[in-house]
Amino acid sequence: MIPHKKYRTYKWLRKRNNQRRMLLILFFLIITLLGLSLFTVAQNSEDKKTLSPQQVMEIVKQFHPVAKQADIVIEKAKADVTISRGMFDPILKNETTQKTFDGTDYYLYNRPELSIPTWFGVEVSTGLEKLSGSRTSPEETLGETSYFGISIPLAKNLLMDKRRAALQSAKIYRTASEAEKRNMLNNLLLDAMKSYWTWAQQYQAYNILTNAVAVNEKRAQLVRTAFKLGDRPAIDTTEAVAQLQNFELMQSQAWLDFKNAGLDLSTYLWTAETQPYNLPESIIPNADLQTINLNTAIIPDLNSLLSVARINHPELMLFNYELGILGIEKKLKFQELLPVVNFRYNQLGKGYNVLKTATGPLFENNFQYGLSVGIPLRLSEGRGEYRKAKLKITETQLQQSQKLLQIENKVKSYYNELVTLKSQIALQEKAYKNYYTLQRGEEIRFQAGESSLFLINARENKTLEAMQKLQELKAKFFKTENMLQWAAGNLL
């Protein structure tokens, strides 16, 4: 009976050891899968729609209210050009006066006239006159007459006047409105891209923690089973549950951050009907920060960016347009320094045949002319206005130089940051792999009975932190890349 009892005890112990061995193998297999999952998080997106950064930019450019406001700026500038051209429209007018008193017809006067302003300050006019009555002015011609005349400024307003200045300025404003639109879109797209990459980063953080929670739930179950079989102490169950709870808390915060980031991105997403679009949770980022390899990313050439910024940056172009307008204002103010010398000549004719009035010799018969001359003796207003116009140009040139320096420094700063981020990402990838190797080594030591679950959890936390830091750096890289193009005025 005794040998038989020993045999049964031996058989039972061997069976129990086999169960423990299988449990430990399964336990470490789960731990291994945990480490792998942190590097390649599974994303079930079969029923998910994705949103790429390019799609966000197109939606913003087409439907965002600020983008439409930029189009309105252009249309308003075109309307201003039309208004300014109105000052050169031909004018048809008619003057009629009559006086009758106590049965006496004093006079009856009717004068239709067509005047045509020209670009060179010369005004051409033609008209008809009819005068009748017994009490007319002796310097007026009775009966029916016609005339064809011209008015010419010989000094002031000859090369520039308010009408030409207004039209030239309006044309410059129309061209400047295109640069203003580019500047508005450049700033708007930068904010939209910042929101997008924050949204993408928060999604990756939530995805990583979701996977970590799932694996730690299985780990906690296995530790409880091992405790029930007597292979693990009770403290290990507390250690596993505490790790799980910590990840669950982080997952909850990551989900909140992801939803809030989606709300922030939604402020830039509008429909074609100019209605705000709330980004649903079923849409996820197209950009997968985990699988993107930035080691081969091409950094833009700094000199090319600086050259593009100097030539095409909308803010610098706006200064150029402003200087053009100030140059027109300077020419107009210079006219205040010139004397007023206006000459007007009308060729007169009997009857309403206007063509006959233009056939006669000038200054011989049937003509009327006038010459007006005047000049302020001290020219105080003219000198002050002209000096002020020159000072405005100097002031704007200084502002432009300062803006150019600021833009160049911004481009250089973001370029340096982008280059540094690329090297930091490469270092962080190596750091993550090292942390993961340390975690795997700790798991092997634990399997050999030389470590504890506490140390494994500590290694796991470091691995997770390294992965999250890597995603943060990648998101920052793309943000900085957008900011570099924005600084160069090229984020379109």
pLDDT in tens, 225-269: 878 888 778 888 899 899 999 999 999 999 999 999 999 999 999
Instruction: For the chain, give the percent of residues with pLDDT over 90.
Output: 66
Q: What interhelical angle do 162-228 and 314-334 show, nearest 10?
A: 160
Confidence of residue 103 (pLDDT cuts 50, 70, 90): confident
C-alpha span between 269 and 252 (Å, rounded): 26
Asked if the model's pLDDT at residue 40 lies above 80, the reply is no
pLDDT tens figures, 335-364: 999 999 999 999 888 888 767 665 667 777
* CA 29 to chain CA mean position, Å: 50
Q: Could you tell me the pTM of the whole model?
A: 0.84
Query: Are residues 463 and 35 in contact, defined by beta-carbon separation less than 8 angstroms?
Result: yes
* pLDDT at position 64: 95
Query: CA angle, 256 as apex, 254 and 260 as ends, to 5°?
Result: 115
Q: Are 200 and 285 in contact (CB under 8 A)?
A: yes
d(CA 331, CA 173): 17
Total Cβ atoms within 10 A of residue 453: 22
d(CA 143, CA 140): 10
| Residue 113, beta-bridge partner list | 93, 127
Q: Is the pLDDT of residue 456 over 90?
A: no
What would the two tokens of residue 202 be?
């928060």
Confidence of residue 43 (pLDDT cuts 50, 70, 90): very low
What is the spatial distance between Cα 157 and Cα 151, in angstroms, rounded to a whole number? 12
- Asked if residue 206 lies in contact with residue 483, where contact means CB atoms within 8 angstroms, the answer is no
Q: Is the pLDDT of residue 36 over 60?
A: no
pLDDT in tens, 301-331: 999 999 999 999 999 999 999 999 999 999 9
Mean pLDDT of the chain: 88
| pLDDT greater than 80 at residue 13 | no
Kindly indicate the confidence band of residue 42, based on its pLDDT and cuts at 50, 70 and 90: very low
Residue 362 is predicted with a pLDDT of 74
Instruction: Give 428's pLDDT tier (boundaries 50, 70, 90).
Output: very high
* The two three-digit tokens of residue 306, written as one number: 């600086």
Q: Return d(Cα 482, Cα 82) in angstroms, integer.
A: 38
pLDDT at 28 over 80: no
pLDDT band at 31 (very low <50, low <70, confident <90, very high): low
pLDDT at residue 115 greater than cutoff 90: yes
The pLDDT score that the predictor gives to residue 486 is 97
CA separation for the pair 477, 473 (Å, rounded): 6
Residue 285 near residue 358 (C-beta atoms within 8 A): no
- pLDDT attached to residue 299: 93
pLDDT(451) > 90: no
Distance CA 341, CA 360 (A): 26
Using DSSP, state whether 267 is helix, strand or coil: coil
Model pLDDT, residue 256: 96
Query: Does the pLDDT of residue 24 top 90, yes or no?
Result: no
Q: Residue 179 contacts by C-beta under 8 Å, 6 or more apart in sequence?
A: 314, 317, 318, 321
More confident residue, 261 or 32: 261
In sequence order, the β-bridge partners of residue 50 are 284
Structural domains for the chain: 19-84+163-331+382-487 (1.20.1600.10), 90-154+342-377 (no CATH)
Instruction: Tell me the pLDDT tens digit for each residue of 173-206.
Output: 999 999 999 999 999 999 999 999 999 999 999 9
Instruction: Give the mean pLDDT of 88-93.
Output: 94
In whole angstroms, what is the distance from residue 346 CA to residue 478 CA? 73
Mapped to the 3 state alphabet, what secondary structure does 423-449 carry?
Answer: HHHHHHHHHHHHHHHHHHHHHHHHHCC
- Measuring CA to CA, which residue among 146, 153, 60, 158 is closest to residue 110? 146
pLDDT of residue 17 exceeding 70: no
Does pLDDT of 39 surpass 60? no
